[in-house]
Amino acid sequence: SVKTIGDDNDDAAQSVMQQQLNAFKNNWFSVENALRVYKMYLELDVDHNGTLSQKEMLQFAGSSLSNLCIQRIFQYKKTWDGEMDYKGFLNFVLAMECKSHVCALNYWWDIL
């Protein structure tokens, strides 16, 4: 194909736009990410009471966490009548997905 002078600029602009779009989608605060985390919460809440029990949390990520780990989270993190609310779940997911961030390290340090 024949390229014109403006084609390189168009390719560069499209590349920059694609990079910005990817960064936006990977942003913790993006709409896509917020919906993804909320969907996880709703799927875990099998009794539909608006909070998560220890049993429900054991299903997180295909039961990759031990019963003891979940017990410690519920023991050392604020819960409502022994169940985790959505804010607590957001903190948990952030700590799980961003393990090297200082806030995540503090989260896990508290339950050790």
Whole-number pLDDT of residue 22: 58
CATH (residue range 28-111): 1.10.238.10
**Where do the domains of the chain lie?**
28-111
**pLDDT per residue over 4-57, tens digit each?**
555 666 777 777 666 665 555 567 778 888 999 999 999 999 999 999 999 999
**Would the CA dihedral through 89, 91, 31, 40 be positive or negative?**
negative
**Would the CA dihedral through 57, 58, 59, 60 be positive or negative?**
positive
Residues 81-103 have a mean pLDDT of 91
pTM for the full predicted model: 0.72
Q: Does the pLDDT value for residue 69 go beyond 80?
A: yes
Mean residue pLDDT of the chain comes to 84
What are the start-end ranges of the H helices in the chain?
5-26, 31-44, 54-57, 67-76, 86-97, 102-111
Q: Does the pLDDT value for residue 61 go beyond 70?
A: yes
Burial of 106 (0-12, 13-18, 19+ CB in 10 A): exposed
